[in-house]
Structure 1
Amino acid sequence: MFFSILLLAHLQAAIIPIILGIRSIDKFKHIINYKLIPLGFIFLGLASISEMIDHTNTSWIYVDHSSLFNWLFYSFLSLGLSCLSISVIKNKFIQTTNFCISLFSIISYSLFDKTIALLFQVIISIFLITNWQRVFKDWMFVLYPIFGIFFTTLFGTNLSISGDQFWHVLIGPSGTISVISFYLVLKRSDKKFT
């Protein structure tokens, strides 16, 4: 029973962002780089798929380790957040900087370890929060840092410290709430800008 719940928690974290990505194709044309929005969502879904594949090597027990699919998880996460961040930016220098930070995150995982990659992802998240709040000024966007950063970090830390797989079940849905908040902010902005 627990495995079914864990699998469902991971499946929804993969399927929902991909569905939102497909639904975003050729939408939100009021956003400067709207073509990056579907890519952002799809990359987030691919991150979850990579994590699921990684879990097949650990019998679906969370293990804090480095592997090809764990690297893909962090790489797709970095690319997804960067695409969403860059989608609202006009300034080419800031776009390039954001993209380079994403590349540094991807490269640093294999050169050093995922701790360094996570530091770059924190910077990407700061860019994302700053850019989206500046453009959209939507209170709903606060769901991203609450669920996508605070709760997923809290649940992940509890999982790492305790080894209790209960925390593992909560991480995916928490991340999905943050992904849905991106989409809702975009939908609400569509009405504001038209």
Structure 2
Amino acid sequence: MFFVVLLLAHIQAVLIPAWIASRISSRKSTMRTVLPNGGISLLLFGFTCFSIAAFAEMLDHTETNWIYINRLSGWNGLFYAGLAGGLASLTASVTANKILRVLLYVLVIAGIVAYPLLGKGVTISLQSIITIIFLAQWWRRFHDPILWIYPICGVVLTTVFGGMLSSSGNQIWHVFIGPAGSISLITLWILLNRAERKQNFSN
């Protein structure tokens, strides 16, 4: 029974960002008004990256009998690359600054290169930098307080649950990590909808 719950917790982490990407794709014409040029494509790519990251994590777990093990592996590396790529793309989607867009992807590439050479610590540090830029850019673009649910669920709670999992070895904490991340992405989807409605109302 626990395995079923754990599996569902991971499957939803794959499906929710994929669903958000499909909804954005179907509403390109209306959502384009709240983003700069090229923003929709970057937004789509970002949520797709999150879905790929979650799927890579599932594949990594199949090699450890679904027991969390803090290790370096190809699938785990793809997981971190997907997270960084998703964050960078979502950040790039709300800015027209081409230099900043390039810098974001340089950080992603640096994290990918650092993973096998220096370990996941450096990769996570670079991802943290992207997260800070992401929050700053999305706040600058939307000024919506709901944005701060993202770091609470997607950073604080996932880190706490991950820390509890690593320190205790109790797999129950594993169940909560994916849903916390999904709540953070759903928050961004709600934020985008609110921004679209506000834009339509002002017009």
1:185 lines up with 2:188 in the alignment: no
State the match for 1:121 in structure 2: 127
2-structure distance, mates of 1:15, 1:143: 20
Give the % identical residues: 40
Superposed counterparts of 1:72-87, under 5 Å: 72-87=78-93
2:58 aligned to which of 46, 49, 52:
52
Superposed counterparts of 1:143-162, under 5 Å: 143-162=149-168
Give the AA of the match of 1:103.
I
1-structure distance, mates of 2:86, 2:142: 19
Deviations 1:152-190 (A, max 9, x none): 000001101110101100000000000101111111111
Query: Gaps spanning 5+ residues in structure 1: where?
Result: none
State the match for 1:2 in structure 2: 2
Give the AA of the match of 2:16.
I
The number of residues matched between the two structures is: 194
Deviations 1:85-129 (A, max 9, x none): 000011111111111111111111122111100000000100100
Query: Gaps spanning 5+ residues in structure 2: where?
Result: none
1-structure distance, mates of 2:117, 2:144: 38
After the TM superposition, list the runs of 4 or more consecutive aligned residues in structure 1 that deviate by more than 6 angstroms: none
1-structure distance, mates of 2:51, 2:97: 27
Deviation at 1:69, TM superposition (A): 0.2
Superposed counterparts of 1:1-194, under 5 Å: 1-25=1-25, 26=28, 28-30=31-33, 31-32=35-36, 33-194=39-200
2-structure distance, mates of 1:61, 1:54: 10
1-structure distance, mates of 2:112, 2:132: 17
Partner SS for 1:134: helix
Give the AA of the match of 1:123.
I
Task: Give TM-score, length-normalised by structure 2.
Answer: 0.94
Task: Give TM-score, length-normalised by structure 1.
Answer: 0.98
Give the AA of the match of 2:58.
M
RMSD between aligned alpha carbons?
A: 0.8
Deviation at 1:23, TM superposition (A): 1.0
